[in-house]
A and B are shown apart, each in its own frame.
Chain A
Amino acid sequence: MLRAHLAALNAAQAARRAAALVTDLENGEQRLVPEAEFASDPLAEAIEERLRLGKSGIVEIAGRSLFLLVRVPRRRLITIGAVHISQALAPMARLADLDIIIIDPRSAFATPQRFPDVEVIAAWPQDTLPQMSLDPFTAVATLSHNPKIDDPALAMALEAQCFYVGALGSQKSHARRLERLCAAGFSDAQLAAIHAPIGLDIGSVSPGEIAVAILAEIIATMRRKPPRAAKAFSSKL
């Protein structure tokens, strides 16, 4: 691999852009395909399929074996609410290889003391999320339990087709949430994407247990379903 290719793969990753490296396994020849050139590449179809699956692999084309290394943006979890559950969720998410960002306008909650080594932002979601360019490789979990804080983040996450959108709250409070979002113009199909009550139903009680349920649901959405992420990604190309 050329150092330049290595640097380009890392630069794409840092900018949350996809990239593919094509290696001819016969002669070792390589070429890099940046996201902007996917559609016009001779291997467009194979690259898109691989991206959809998020899987690298070999394709046989015209008698040649080509290895497609596909790199998609890092999956990240944005948590709204610097609450007790978030304190448990942050280190767990990291172990599962998700980048984590916590947002809460209440500066008494969003402190580095409560979240050592985690990116914590004391601001309103509607002020800070636009700079983060939410995308189909981002998960958003709203945990503040306060509609003034959670609702704007949910709206933005749905619009950006985040691969996972989950909201803390009972069936009852979710029904009221759906009414508010419906009034804001979201369709039933869009609203069906919200996981609520949040987390897999494993009977969680403590904040740590609820964090496990949330993380498990995020992983299931990411790995199991035909990734919404990938579909949204293809339509973006």
Chain B
Amino acid sequence: MLASDDEILREAQAWAEAGQMFALATVIETWGSAPRPAGSHLIINRDGRFLGSVSGGCVEAEVITEAAEVIEHGAPRLLEFGVADEMAWQAGLSCGGRIKVYIERVS
């Protein structure tokens, strides 16, 4: 489903009203040809269900994994992603850009 940031925040409110625990990830800074601008959102619930995107698919898996920790412990996290390097298992952006993503619990 193609969701705008407005739709994501509306869906987030629906999740909150249904009493779900979830995390909100937001792109807060970008350099170079980052795929999604600052202010782009991704919401992730406890079961790993998610809506939105922070990079167009490159680093979502990593953000979703971190979100589980944020939902569990409540402390926000700041992640930075850059160009994918030789450590193939590390999430990276093939476009050559860099982004910072802030993940917080909605409570």
Residues on A facing B (Cβ under 8 Å): 1-3, 6-7, 9-10, 13, 23, 25, 28, 55-58, 67, 69-70, 74, 95, 97
Q: Which 4 A-B pairs have the closest CB atoms?
A: A56-B39, A56-B38, A3-B16, A28-B76
- Interchain Cβ contacts under 8 Å between A and B, 10 examples: A2-B106, A6-B12, A6-B13, A10-B10, A13-B9, A25-B28, A56-B28, A67-B28, A69-B39, A97-B4
Query: A2 and B107: CB pair below 8 A?
Result: yes
- For A95, what are the chain B residues with a Cβ–Cβ distance below 8 Å? 2
Query: B106 and A3: CB pair below 8 A?
Result: yes
- For A70, what are the chain B residues with a Cβ–Cβ distance below 8 Å? 39
- For A2, what are the chain B residues with a Cβ–Cβ distance below 8 Å? 106-107
Query: A9 and B9: CB pair below 8 A?
Result: yes
Query: A6 and B28: CB pair below 8 A?
Result: no
C-alpha spacing A133/B4, complex, angstroms? 23
- For B26, what are the chain A residues with a Cβ–Cβ distance below 8 Å? 56, 67, 69
Closest A residue by C-beta to B74 = A28
* Given A28-B76, A74-B6, A97-B4, CB of A10 within 8 Å of CB of B28: no
C-alpha spacing A74/B6, complex, angstroms? 8
B32 to chain A, nearest CB (A): 15
B 41-82 binary contact with A (CB < 8 Å = 1; else 0): 000000000000000000000000000000000011010000
- For A57, what are the chain B residues with a Cβ–Cβ distance below 8 Å? 28-29, 38-39
- The verdict on B99 contacting chain A, using a C-beta distance below 8 Å, is no
Query: A7 and B13: CB pair below 8 A?
Result: yes
- For B38, what are the chain A residues with a Cβ–Cβ distance below 8 Å? 55-58
B91 to chain A, nearest CB (A): 21
B30 to chain A, nearest CB (A): 9
- For B76, what are the chain A residues with a Cβ–Cβ distance below 8 Å? 28
- Of the candidates A13, A23, A67, the one having the most CB atoms from chain B within 10 angstroms of its own CB is A67
B16 to chain A, nearest CB (A): 5
* Given A55-B39, A67-B28, CB of A6 within 8 Å of CB of B102: no
- The verdict on B37 contacting chain A, using a C-beta distance below 8 Å, is yes
* Given A55-B38, A58-B29, CB of A28 within 8 Å of CB of B104: yes
